[in-house]
Amino acid sequence: MKRFVATARGRVQRVGYREHVYNETFERNISGYVMNLKNGEVEIIAEGSEKDLRDLINEINIIRRPIAVKSFTVRWEEATGEYTDFEIIRGDIQEEIFERIDYAGNVLHSMDMKLDQSLQISKENLQVGKENLQIGKENLQVGKENLQVGKENLQVGKENLQVGKENLQIGKENLQIGKENLQISKETKEEITGLRSDTKKHLADEFAEMRKELVSIKDALARAGIQV
C-alpha cells in the first residue's frame, strides 16, 4: 500500500473539484480525504494500491470546464492505514454555502453554453436537412426525367426493331429475287450457248454447200473452155 499527499492549484475551489475527486474514488479501493485550503488550493491525501493511486492522479489532474488544475504536486509516502474511507472535509457553513452557489452558477453557465451549442447544432442540422431535402427533390425530378427518357428510348428501340424486321423481310425477298435472276441468267446463258452452236453448224453447212456449187460452176466453165 502507498500514500500520496497532493496539492492542486488553479481554478479548483468553488467549481466542484472536491466532489470530482471524491467521485473518482468510488470504484477504487482508496481512503483519505480532500479539503480546501485557505490559500485557494486543494489538498488531497489518499492511500491505496500504487496502481489505483496513479489512476486517481490521472483523473484529477485535469483541465475540464469549469475545473482547471494549473499545478499539481505529489509527495509519495508509505501508507499509515489511518483512514477507513475517503471523505470530503467541509469548511464552515458560510464557506460551503458560497461554494455551492458558485458551483451551481458554473454548472448553470456550462449548461447554458451547452444548450446554445446544441441549439446551434440543431439549426445547422435543420439547414442540412433542408438542403438534403432539396437535393432529394432535385434527384427525384432527375429520376423522373431519366425514366421518361428511358421510356422514349424504349419506344424508339421498339420502332427500330420493327424497322429491322421489315428490312430483314425485304432482304429475304431481295435474296429470293436474286436467286431467281441468277437462275434466269443461267438458263439464258445456256440458250445463247445453244443458239451459237446451232448457228455455227448451220453456217458451216451453208459454206460447205456454197463451196460445192462453186466447184461445180468452175468445172462447168472449164468444160466450156472458159478459164476462171
Spatial distance between the Cα atoms of 211 and 222, rounded to a whole number of angstroms = 16
Element (H, E) at 129: helix 93-223
3 is catalytic: no
Spatial distance between the Cα atoms of 30 and 49, rounded to a whole number of angstroms = 8
User: Would you tell me how many other CB atoms lie within 10 Å of the CB of residue 127?
Assistant: 10
**Beta carbons of 75 and 4 less than 8 angstroms apart:** yes
Query: Which of 4, 35, 5 minimizes the C-alpha distance to 19?
Result: 35
18 is catalytic: yes
Instruction: Please identify which of the residues 14, 36, 39, 65 carries the catalytic annotation.
Output: 36
What letter does residue 1 receive in the DSSP assignment? -
**Beta carbons of 25 and 86 less than 8 angstroms apart:** yes
Instruction: Please identify which of the residues 11, 18, 125, 153 carries the catalytic annotation.
Output: 18
HSE at residue 37, side-chain half, CA atoms within 13 A, is: 14
Give the distance from CA 204 to its chain's centroid: 94
Spatial distance between the Cα atoms of 137 and 132, rounded to a whole number of angstroms = 9
Element (H, E) at 180: helix 93-223
Spatial distance between the Cα atoms of 133 and 3, rounded to a whole number of angstroms = 61
Active site residues: 18, 36
